[in-house]
Amino acid sequence: MPIKIATWNVNSIKSRLGIVTGWLKTNSPDIVLLQELKCETAAFPYMEIEDLGYNVAVNGQKTYNGVAVLSKFPIEEVIKDLPGDEADSHARYIEAVVSVSGNIVRAASVYVPNGQSVGSDKFAYKLKFLERLCENTRKLLEYDEIFVLGGDYNVAPEAIDVFDAARLDGSICFHPEERARLNALMHLGLTDTFRSSYPEARQYSWWDYRAGSFQQNLGMRIDMLLASPRAADLVIAAGIDEHPRALEKASDHAPVWVEIQEAGNPSLEN
């Protein structure tokens, strides 16, 4: 069977728990990367998630941020710090090494800062965070592993990824400086699994709660699963599931997923 990996900014795991567990039951992804948990590590709903067959690694924070890796396979190692700024206490990164039939799969969940407003301190923090993410990923790619870096990047890569490029150009999540840093990350050798599967698709992963944005499809594609060369060679399907976004009291993000070749395939062997 293929390995299905998903990423989803749930915008409060406690507020969306029923929606999240329902989606997990229906779609049964093997590895799930969650963002914006909005709860401390100890307050994560472990029982409800573990009852669905998942091992859980959490990097939580009270009220804000928070990321997690859920895996139906054993989790061998967990890293919660993004190097480059010892003073940064925000829970925005978690990386797990997963054992899939004796093969190593590295999966990381990242929640890039929004940046609030161009020119602000938070915008500068966002740019620096992307630079740190790029440098850390550069080192991880030296391992030549099956590696997927998924999450809410809070940056839409190209004009096709936003509902109105001319109107949004220069604004938060579509500013040239943000896009340049995201491009630097992808140019390390990562593949945007959705865009490589659908080069001309205009589909989004986030819609503002305000002004009927979802109903009018005024969205942005800011949630992505980026694959290392070894992982990209194994991709067999990818997509964005908009259904959960249409539910009552939904997250403003939709799950993004990718399937790679089954763990028993010789091409996954080290």
Residues annotated as catalytic are 111, 152
Separation CA 55–CA 218 (nearest Å)? 36
Separation CA 9–CA 151 (nearest Å)? 7
**Beta-bridge partner residues of 237:** 259
Separation CA 75–CA 96 (nearest Å)? 7
The conformation of residue 253, written as its DSSP 8-state character, comes to B
Q: Find the distance separating the first CA and the last CA of the chain, reported in whole Å.
A: 19
Q: How many CB atoms lie within 10 A of CB 74?
A: 10
Cα radius of gyration (the chain): 17
